[in-house]
Chains A and B, each alone.
Chain A
Amino acid sequence: MAMAALRREGRRFAPLISPRPITAFRSSPLAPTREAEGPIGVRYISTQVVRNRMKSVKNIQKITKAMKMVAASKLRAIQTKAENSRGLWQPFTALLGDTPSVDVKKNVIVTVSSDKGLCGGINSTSVKISKALHKLNSGPENETKYVILGEKAKAQLVRDSKKDIELIITELQKNPLSYTQVSVLADDILKNVEFDALRIVFNKFHSVVSFLPTVSTVLSPEIVEREAEAGGKLGDLDSYEIEGGETKGEILQNLTEFQFSCVMFNSVLENACSEQGARMSAMDSSSRNAGDMLDRLTLTYNRTRQASITTELIEIISGASALEG
């Protein structure tokens, strides 16, 4: 009688247990559980797949945590440098003003981006802004060219704007960033690219979680003269006496070159800071996701394990009861 009841229970358990684990697996995005064949008649559900997956997710979590720590330490190092360089561009803006809406024939957009990936969306933002600036400054007589710093922007811009790219510079951060390096770079750009206005697109480091896409404009000496004559923001440039140098033109030339290298230095540092900060938050959310995934997998694993134990028990017990009764 008890055996009959157990048999009935067994029958009731069997349909309850066996389909449910399988559907539980199908609801989570896993491959269907393998039903391994042991000695004839014995079936047990394998936990191998789940275990493999758990191992790899745990490794990924460790890696992303380590990357976050590395990015945090790099950020600390470069943040002080970037904040110290913030005073560098302010005198130029105080003197020459900020004229992003200036209308010139030859625009050059300098896009600053990172070489390495896994840093969130900052490179895509810079590229989007560069393309938008290209569109904004397009006109019947205007031409817009790109100068690209960094692999990530190169990968994105080469796809559709290949003919507009003048210069590509990569491996900027191989050696720690210094003013000498950036001024050599700026010299390169100034020598090889003809421009009326240079627009530098970068991500300004506001805080560890917030990066503001920014565009700084540097005008060529001829355009500065033109704008000064036209009045407006540069109108009182003429009221400044010039000390040294032969002509005003020569001083303005040196001034714009110096301005470009200073602004480039600041923007490269800020972008590097933003890159490390974005990498920190990307890696942090990645480790958190990996942790969540691991929790879900652990539950699934335990369920599978318990189900296989229960199935075994049932089979043993029903087998025993069949023998006896």
Chain B
Amino acid sequence: MLRRASGLLARPILAARARPFSTDLPAAQTADATFVEAWKKVIPNMDPPKTPLSFMQPRPPTPSSIPSKLTVNFVLPYASELATKEVDMVIVPATTGQMGVLPGHVATIAELKPGVLSVHEGNEVTKYFISSGFAFIHANSFADVIAVEAVPLDRIDASLVQKGLAEFTQKLSSATTDLEKAEAQIGIDVHSALNSTLTG
């Protein structure tokens, strides 16, 4: 009962967080004051350039109780797959193994290996195969997953995976320089991860 009460208290904060209008969000620093001052002293005639801080959507501070939902940002260079989506759980393929992230997870920086990212929202699960990247989990139950490539699992062709795996294994055995060996090893890693996701 107490958890539900805290959940109810947390919800108005969550509702405010979901709306990206500047009037609703807490007042955020739009410019680095020390930078602007130092700039004005040395170069008084020009306006200081903007910094990413002014374009950043501010993040809410760590709430005192554990929120009920995890807010996920899943970004790729070509698109933002999930932007501030509220989910129950995500499982990320960290280099140390599959890591499940729930709301209230301790703040973590995780390096990712090629594998499956699954997003659990209620009863539905969305799975993506991602090439490596990074995952940041913040104390305020925000999770950022940054990957270079991601494909939904149903778009992967099993026969091509087998072919790729065979090709890279062959390349590794015939590799001479360290660079070629490293490239072949990477290819094998990715393809065997793809293989295991398709079969297992």
Contact = CB atoms under 8 A, between A and B. Distances in A.
A171 to B, nearest CB: 21
Interface string B52-83: 11011101000000000000010111111001
B32 A99 contact: yes
Interface in B20-74: 32, 34-35, 38-39, 42-43, 46, 49-53, 55-57, 59, 73
Given A136-B39, A179-B78, A243-B108, A100 B96 contact: no
A143 B52 CA distance: 24
B75 A87 contact: yes
B88 interface: no
Interface residues of B, number: 46
A153 to B, nearest CB: 15
A93 B42 contact: no
A144 to B, nearest CB: 13
17 contacts: A81-B78, A84-B79, A85-B77, A90-B56, A91-B146, A101-B34, A179-B77, A212-B49, A236-B107, A239-B107, A242-B110, A243-B94, A243-B95, A244-B95, A244-B96, A254-B134, A258-B133
A322 B42 CA distance: 81
Interface in B130-148: 133-134, 136, 138-139, 142, 144, 146, 148
B111 interface: yes
A135 B44 CA distance: 12
B78 to A, nearest CB: 6
A220 interface: no
B156 interface: no
Summarize A's interface: helix, strand, loop or mixed: helix
A62 B146 CA distance: 46
A194 B76 CA distance: 28
Contact of B38 (A136, A213, A245): A136
Among B52, B73, B79, B94, residue most surrounded by chain A Cβ atoms (within 10 Å): B52
Interface in B83-129: 83, 94-96, 99, 106-113
B59 A98 contact: no
A244 B94 contact: yes
Contacts of B94: 243-244
Interface residues of A, number: 45
A214 B80 contact: no
A283 B113 CA distance: 48
Contact of A251 (B49, B53, B59, B111): B111
A95 B144 CA distance: 9
A242 B109 contact: yes
A214 B77 contact: no
Contacts of B99: 243
A258 B142 CA distance: 20
Nearest to A131: B43
Contacts of A216: 51-52
A98 B49 contact: no
Interface in A67-120: 81, 84-95, 98-101
A129 interface: yes
A262 B50 CA distance: 18
Nearest to A81: B78
A101 B134 contact: no
